């Protein structure tokens, strides 16, 4: 607590906004795949998710560049405002009087663009006001807070999403408004005095193209994309599989159906991380980074592959435990390797490239949802195993290469 109180005011408020936004997004976003699948079918849902990912990719890259031109705070405010508007319209389209899944998709698309547009500015602000001495503490704290938010949000979504979607979306819009006020009235601008002056698209392209000259980092990014496709499956095919194939179970007077099973997986994941992360961090420090990453990624790939095959409560919980153990090995190793590979003179561009990984991975994950009708559960499981192996091989290769800058 003493170290937290010594942090810059922006970092303290960033912790609060992160917690508020995470708890609400975790209660709704993973379940929206089931929502879309119900109204549009698996194939169309995959196409819609690809559209969201492509536009999120573009808005994230451009938002990151504009944050270096116009400042962190204005970009954050624009992004949060778009999120508030999107959630508000989505709530209106899922009220007691009206349900329109088409406009709902458009509203969530706007909210997602707002979130990805603001994210690079938020990350840049954290770097601006943290120091090399406290940065590890800051990121560990944010990671811990996010997991607390995910745990609570998953519980809320599993129990209330199906029957109280309108109320959840109203609260999401309200939280976005609260975050807007926190940023506007509580946070200070942190953009360094020397920064790019061109906000053009070409200026952004030149900035990010410089990263592509570092072959080692590009190989690492490819491996990171492969691993991210695996780890984001709870929001993609795993959600579809549970909504379609999970055998409803009655436990302690509660009915566990597909959406609630998805929430239980998230809760299991988050509880383990919150209470056991330090233990596995100590174990991982006894291994080389590439060994730690390889072990963690292997466990995650196998667990996700198995989760596509099984369809009952206990096997799903076992998969959740195994994939979480893998995550606790993979995350610190991956973050450390990534930081070691960045060119100190161009950390902003390197960080921007990392921010593009999730949208690119989501495009592939959405494509797999569309193709799942042909691949089936077994085919999707095999793809998870292949991606896990590819990620390990590429990460090991990049770690053994000389710096490209």
* Distance of alpha carbon 160 from alpha carbon 176, whole angstroms: 20
Asked whether residue 204 is domain-assigned, the answer is no
SS (H, E, C) 312-351: CHHHHHHHHHHHHHHHHHHHHHHHHHHHHHCCHHHHHHHH
Asked whether residue 286 is domain-assigned, the answer is yes
Q: What is the reported pTM?
A: 0.71
Q: Which of 237, 385, 229, 399 is nearest to 298 (CA)?
A: 385
Residues 220 and 186 in one domain: no
Asked whether residue 206 is domain-assigned, the answer is no
Run means of pLDDT, 10 residues per run, the chain, 405 residues: 74 86 80 83 83 83 77 89 92 88 92 87 77 65 79 79 85 91 87 59 64 85 93 86 85 79 84 82 81 94 94 91 91 75 63 75 85 88 95 91 63
Asked whether residue 367 is domain-assigned, the answer is yes
pLDDT computed for residue 182 by the predictor: 92
Beta strands (DSSP E) in 244-303 are 249-251, 254-256
Angle between helices 258-284 and 135-160 in degrees, nearest 10: 160
Residues 41 and 171 in one domain: yes
Q: What is the CATH number of the domain that holds 258?
A: 1.20.1250.20
Q: State the total domains in the chain.
A: 2
Residues 359 and 394 in one domain: yes
Task: Show the domain range for 234.
Answer: 211-405
Asked whether residue 3 is domain-assigned, the answer is yes
Residues 229 and 329 in one domain: yes
pLDDT computed for residue 230 by the predictor: 92
pLDDT computed for residue 226 by the predictor: 94
Q: Which of 168, 155, 136, 172 is nearest to 271 (CA)?
A: 155
Asked whether residue 196 is domain-assigned, the answer is no
Asked whether residue 256 is domain-assigned, the answer is yes
Q: Is 291 left (phi over 0), alpha (psi -120 to 50) or beta?
A: alpha
Asked whether residue 350 is domain-assigned, the answer is yes
User: How far apart, in Å, are the Cα atoms of 385 and each of 120, 234, 296, 320?
Assistant: 31, 16, 13, 16
Residues 156 and 228 in one domain: no
């Amino acid at each position: 607590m003493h170290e937290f109180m010594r942090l810059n005011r922006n970092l303290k408020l960033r912790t609060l906004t992160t917690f508020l936004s995470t708890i609400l997004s975790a209660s709704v976003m993973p379940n929206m795949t089931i929502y879309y699948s119900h109204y549009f079918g698996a194939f169309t849902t995959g196409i819609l998710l690809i559209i969201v990912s492509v536009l999120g990719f573009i808005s994230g890259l451009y938002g990151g560049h504009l944050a270096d031109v116009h400042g962190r705070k204005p970009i954050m405010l624009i992004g949060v405002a778009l999120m508030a508007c999107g959630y508000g319209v989505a709530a209106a389209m899922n009220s007691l009087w009206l349900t329109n899944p088409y406009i709902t998709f458009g509203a969530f698309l706007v909210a997602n663009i707002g979130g990805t547009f603001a994210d690079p500015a938020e990350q840049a602000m954290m770097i601006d006001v943290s120091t090399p001495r406290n940065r590890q503490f800051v990121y560990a704290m944010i990671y811990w807070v996010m997991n607390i938010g995910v745990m609570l949000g998953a519980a809320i979504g599993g129990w209330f999403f199906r029957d109280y979607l309108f109320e959840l979306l109203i609260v999401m819009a309200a939280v976005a408004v609260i975050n807007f006020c926190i940023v506007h009235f509580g946070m200070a601008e942190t953009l360094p005095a020397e920064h790019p002056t061109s906000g053009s698209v070409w200026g952004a392209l030149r900035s990010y193209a410089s990263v592509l000259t570092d072959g080692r980092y590009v190989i690492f990014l490819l491996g990171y994309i492969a691993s991210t496709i695996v780890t984001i499956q709870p929001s993609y095919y795993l959600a579809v599989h549970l909504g379609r194939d999970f055998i409803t179970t009655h436990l302690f007077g509660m009915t566990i159906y597909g959406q609630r099973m998805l929430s239980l997986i998230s809760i299991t994941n988050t509880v383990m991380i919150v209470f056991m992360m330090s233990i596995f961090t100590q174990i991982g420090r006894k291994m080389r980074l590439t060994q730690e990453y390889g072990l963690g990624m292997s466990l995650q790939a196998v667990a996700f592959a198995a989760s596509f095959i099984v369809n009952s409560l206990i096997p799903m919980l076992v998969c959740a435990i195994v994939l979480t153990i893998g995550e606790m090995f993979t995350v610190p190793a991956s973050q450390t390797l990534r930081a070691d590979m960045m060119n100190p003179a161009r950390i902003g561009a390197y960080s921007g490239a990392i921010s593009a990984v999730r949208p690119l991975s989501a495009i592939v994950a959405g494509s797999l949802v569309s193709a799942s009708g042909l691949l089936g559960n077994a085919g999707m499981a095999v793809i998870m195993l292949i991606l896990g192996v590819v990620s390990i091989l590429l990460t090991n290769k990049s770690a053994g290469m000389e710096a490209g800058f």
